[in-house]
Structure 1
Amino acid sequence: MEQSESESRTVVVTEVDHVSMKKSISLLHCTAILISVTGHISIFITPTAIFQYSESVGISLLIWCVGGMINMGVCLCFTEMGTIYPKAGGGYAYVLKVFGDLPGFMIMYGYIIMICCPFWAFVAYIASLYTLQPIQGCRPSEMTVKLLAAWILVTLVALNCVYMKYVTKVQAFLSLTKIIALLIIITGGIVRLIQGETENLVNAFPKTAESLEAGNLAMAIFFSIFTYGGWQVLCSLMEEVRDPGRDAPRAVYLSFAIIVLKYILTNLAYFIVLSPHQILHTDAIAVIFTDMLYPPMTPVISILVGLCCVGVLNASIMGHSRILFAGARNGHAPLILGTLHVRFLTPWAAIIVMSAWSLVMLVTGGLTTFMEFIQVFSTILSICVISAQLYLRKTQPDINRPFKANLVMAVTVLAVNAILLVMCVVAAPKRIGLGLGVWLTGIPVYIVFVQWKSKPKGFNKCMAKITRSIQKGLLLGKSV
């Protein structure tokens, strides 16, 4: 009896030298993921901005193609970097590895304050707008939209902090709502086209390319590039792709072909059903579209777009907060932001800080401000990562590259992004300049809070006391 009890308590210890993620993502999975995340919910809001700057149906559709091609080129450059550093997980890590501490910090800083938080505000705003417009029957007041958007944002932040397990279970359904909404719009456009409604397409090019101002053209392309955002998630999955050198680039080609076609058909449907005046004077274009197509369908589209926004915002809160969390573990943010809640195991501190800045952006900005801030830094990020890619081509030509993007394409995409950034600054110096100024505040922040190691003892004690107080108050523990 004693022997059996002893045997039952025997513990077998196995020494594990190396643990890595399972390579379970195939070409089909890669393509499906990219199709589902690329473009987020901007197709329901940016057509108005792009048409406003392009000033014609034909040029607008061409610009949607150009934006897709530029994004595909940038995505292929990121893919090359992802195959070189499969465990790095994105632009921040790539720039940090290639160019060092300050450039890496500036990428993280800009990503948080100019992409993540404005994007949270942007998505919450659209969810609120599409919820309120069908109820009120007209464009709701800005204050009403922002109040509901703030409630949506705070509610989803709270759910992500406390009920992460349940929130993730409904994510697939929330993502599906976008596909259903787009199918309804495209089908409606095809039906009207079959019925012979082509008057809005007759004069597709009322202006020649020479008469379109360069600044307006640049801004239109700028917004079209923004519309295809979201594909960066591929970088964080590279370690799990079975054959990243083969499957990742093929998935990029396949998914962008499908996405560009889907968005061209959606915009074509908008132009068939709506007049130029209607497109230019609405933010919730999908609501106006269904009002003109079949009014009883309007609440359905409103609910679908609202749920899609909730899904996108939910996924963004889950993913974006981990960037600040990782930055804290790399010494690029206060240590408190690298902690987890001891019960729920979620980065409460990082989520709360980012939600606070998102609310500031929501209160002080508008749709155009959100889109410009996001795309300004997305362009800067693309320039930095492609520069890192080309730098490695020159300094480490023999490094293992399972996939190698076309060099001419990489240089072309780099030049196009740089020229677009300059042209947009010239076209909208105050707004774009403000975004660049906000980003450059990261330099003194880095010097004072990261680079300066010999801070006064009193300051360090004060910060340590604040950190301990927050940890105790929120039940936060240091991540292992």
Structure 2
Amino acid sequence: MDQGETSPLLLKKEPAKLKGTVGVLSASAVVFGTCIGAGIFISPKGVYEKTGSAGAGLIVWAVSGLLATLCTLAYAELGTMMPQSGGEFVYIHRVYGDFPAFAFSFCNTLLIKPAALSVVAALFGEYLCNMVWGPGTSFILCRVAAASLIVTLGVVNIVGVNVIAKVCEVVSILKLAVIGFLITCGVVVVVKGQGEITNFKQPNLFEGSSTNPADYGLAFYYCLFAFQSWNSLNYMTEELKTPETTLPLGGFIGLVGVTLSYFLCNVAYLMLFNVEQIANTDTIAMDSGYIAFGRPGEIIMSLGLLVSCLGCVGGAICCVSRNIESTAQAGVFPSFISGINKTFHTPVKAIVVVVVTMCMYLLVDATLLIPFLGTVEWLFYCMTFTIILYLRWKEPKWNRPFKVPVFISALLCVITGTFVVLPLFSEESRTTTLLGLCWLPLAGAVYTVRYLVTKFCYRQQNKSETSSLSSSDSGYSEIQGL
């Protein structure tokens, strides 16, 4: 069918569309709620293990926040130029075509997002079970709790985007309380004279800092894992009120809040622990509360982690499902998972796909895959930033309701490209990096099979139509001869 033609079916029945109901406050809450999750309790271990010092670790956190904010603003330019939900898929498909867009959606849908979110859900299950039944709860029970969280939040997402946006708003407020409590823990311990205040004094501040650039590449991978949902709003652009304002402003406010929160949390950690202790603990949330207030503090911090995980998973399901919906609408993924439910005005089928995929990743320990996920993730980010530069050159007259300085886009291309290459110089991360890159030829193989199957079906359909037409013509000739 030519692009100018319209299917008769579409003339009869107007498809349901996403509604623009999310304002600046709700948008910033979505960013804040989806970013601040388990990452602030998972990432510090890897960051300080790789950097080796308090000062270097804090610099990595600060630079990561600045980088995530700049990335958000750069994405706002693309989102206001092409205001369709779906994020990178929309932009890559528009400029680079079918296969790069398919490769992104294939990796994003089946690897990057569900695996990362399963880490958050798994942590929720472990902390919940430890609170209720105590340490040593079985793996299966912890995973059942995690799966229950995913399914519940999937149902909430189906009910409507306004519901999940309100959940993110409420959870965001509770997260601020958790961050405030964590900072209070640090202050209380220092006042008692039991803190690690020497972490902030010379020469301890930078003592033991790594001199290996590859270590800092991995440190940024761990750190940016905590900022992973900085691009949330680009997946739901059609649901934003006045996207040209809400997208950049909501993203900026949300990321500034996330960056300040993370930095203060790390200051609190360094008040409570030395760098070696942070690098060696797997339960930093519980340990922080216990050091300051004993068992009650441990419970409060555990509850805070559960709330953070809930908001993170709930908002992310909302955003990722929009990417799947856009992909299916474009015909890259199977069409049966596309479509907006007329009752709830949400992509119900796409939400179900996200929920099922996340539950599948609960069967493995995805915490070991952060560098693996980061390799593929930042490769596509780099590709997306090149689109900004390409369109500035190729389409200078394209309406841009929001623009970032071109040197920022160029800088982001260099930085994200470096993130992809740098881990190759580390023996520890080289294997996982190469495994991550292996997803690209896998996507190519799937795309080729899909293309051949589609081409075969198309030929069979043409043969059937030709045969039917020939039979009809033969019958007509026989009638004429009577």
How far is the alpha carbon of 1:144 from its aligned partner? 5.2
Q: Aligned pair in 2 of structure 1 residues 172, 451: CA closer, same or farther (>3 Å)?
A: farther
Q: In structure 2, how many angstroms separate the alpha carbons of the residues matched to 1:311 and 1:104?
A: 29
Provide the C-alpha distance between the structure 2 equivalents of 1:258 and 1:169, rounded to a whole number of angstroms. Answer: 18
2:80 is equivalent to residue 83 of structure 1: yes
Tell whether the 8 Å contact from 1:337 to 1:350 is kept in structure 2 after alignment: yes
Instruction: Establish whether residue 93 from structure 1 lines up as the match of residue 90 from structure 2.
Output: yes
- Within 5 Å, which residues of 2 pair with 1:361-376? 361-369=361-369, 371-376=370-375
Q: Secondary structure at the match of 1:441?
A: helix
TM-score under structure 2 length normalisation: 0.80
* 1:46-445 to 2 correspondences below 5 Å: 46-134=43-131, 138=135, 145-157=142-154, 160=157, 170-196=167-193, 197=195, 198-202=197-201, 203-208=204-209, 211-236=210-235, 238=237, 240-242=240-242, 244=244, 248-249=247-248, 252-295=251-294, 296-339=296-339, 347-369=347-369, 371-427=370-426, 428-445=429-446
Q: Offset at 1:394?
A: 1.2
1:104 deviates by 1.4
Relative to 1, partners in 2 of residues 1:152 and 1:86: Cα closer, same or farther, differing over 3 Å? Answer: closer
CA distance in 2, matches of 1:252, 1:162: 24
CA distance in 2, matches of 1:255, 1:221: 20
Deviation at 1:363, TM superposition (A): 1.4
Offset of residue 241 of structure 1:
4.8
After alignment, is 447-456 or 335-344 more displaced? 335-344
Measured at CA, do residues 362 and 438 of structure 1 come closer, stay the same or move farther in structure 2, by a change above 3 Å?
farther
Q: Is the CA contact (8 Å cut-off) linking 1:40 and 1:230 kept in structure 2? A: no
Q: Which amino acid in 2 is paired with 1:447? A: T
Which structure 1 segments of 5+ residues have no match? Answer: 1-15, 461-480
- How far apart, in 2, do the equivalents of 1:235 and 1:325 lie? 13
Report 1:7-18 matches (<5 A): none
> How many angstroms apart in 2 are the aligned matches of 1:20 and 1:362?
30
Say if 2:448 is the partner of 1:447: yes
**Structure 2 Cα separation of the partners of residues 383 and 389 of structure 1:** 10
- SS of aligned partner of 1:288: helix
Query: CA contact under 8 A between 2:160 and 2:346: conserved in structure 1?
Result: no
What is the letter of the counterpart of residue 23 of structure 2?
Answer: I
C-alpha distance in structure 2 between counterparts of 1:160 and 1:33, whole Å:
13
Deviates more, 1:193-202 or 1:98-107: 193-202
* Separation of aligned partners in 2, 1:133 and 1:70: 36
Residue 345 and residue 257 in structure 1: after superposition, are their counterparts in 2 closer, same or farther (change >3 A)?
closer
Given the superposition, is the C-alpha separation of residues 229 and 444 from structure 1 closer, same or farther in structure 2, using an over 3 Å criterion?
same
8 Å Cα contact 2:105/2:327 also seen in 1: yes
What is the identity, as a one-letter code, of the residue corresponding to 2:360?
V
* Contact kept in structure 2, 1:70 and 1:225, CA below 8 Å: no
Alpha-carbon distance in 2 for matches of 1:332, 1:457: 16
| Deviating more after overlay: 144-153 vs 276-285 | 144-153
What amino acid is the match of 1:387?
Answer: T
CA distance in 1, matches of 2:382, 2:273: 37
SS in 2 for 1:364: coil
Moved more, 450-459 or 220-229: 450-459
Q: Measured at CA, do residues 55 and 459 of structure 1 come closer, stay the same or move farther in structure 2, by a change above 3 Å?
A: farther
Q: 1:25 to 1:350 in 2, by over 3 A?
A: closer
More displaced 10-residue stretch of structure 1: 39-48 or 92-101: 39-48
Q: Distance in 2 between matches of 1:243 and 1:91?
A: 16
Per the TM alignment, residue 216 of structure 1 is displaced from its structure 2 partner at its CA by 1.1
Distance 1:408 1:119, change over 3 A: same
Matches of 1:457 and 1:253 in 2, distance apart?
47
**Aligned-CA RMSD value:** 3.3
How far, CA to CA, are the matches of 2:135 and 2:360 in structure 1?
A: 26
Change (3 A) 1:458 1:306: farther
SS state of the match for residue 297, structure 1? helix
Question: Any idea what SS the aligned residue of 2:454 has?
Answer: coil
1:152-193, Cα deviation, whole Å (9 max, x unpaired) = 334544665689997776454334332221111012223334
Alignment match, 1:466 = none
> 2:85 and 2:153 mapped to 1: Cα distance?
28
Distance 2:262 2:300 in 1: 20
Decide whether the 8 Å contact of 1:51 with 1:60 is kept in 2: yes
Cα deviation, residue 277, structure 1:
3.9
Distance 1:274 1:76 in 2: 35
SS in 2 for 1:398: coil
Q: What residue in structure 2 maps to residue 25 of structure 1?
A: 23
Equivalent position amino acid for 1:52 in 2? E
1:233 Cα offset (Å): 2.4
Rounded to whole Å, the distance in 1 between the matches of 2:58 and 2:438 is: 33
Is there any run of 5+ residues in structure 2 with no aligned partner, and where? Answer: 1-13, 462-482
Q: Name which of structure 1's ranges 337-346 and 145-154 shifts more when overlaid on structure 2.
A: 337-346
Aligned to 2:478: none
How many residues are treated as equivalent by the alignment?
438
Superposition TM-score, scaled by structure 1 size: 0.80
Q: What is the match of residue 472 of structure 1?
A: none
- Indicate the larger mover: 233-242 or 95-104: 233-242
Q: After alignment, is 376-385 or 356-365 more displaced?
A: 356-365
Taking a change above 3 Å as real, the CA distance of residues 159 and 235 of structure 1, as seen in their structure-2 partners, is: closer
**Contact preservation (8 Å) 2:34, 2:315:** no
1:126-168 per-residue CA deviation (whole Å, 9 max, x = no partner) reads 1012223445665766555434323433454466568999777
Q: Secondary structure at the match of 1:399?
A: coil
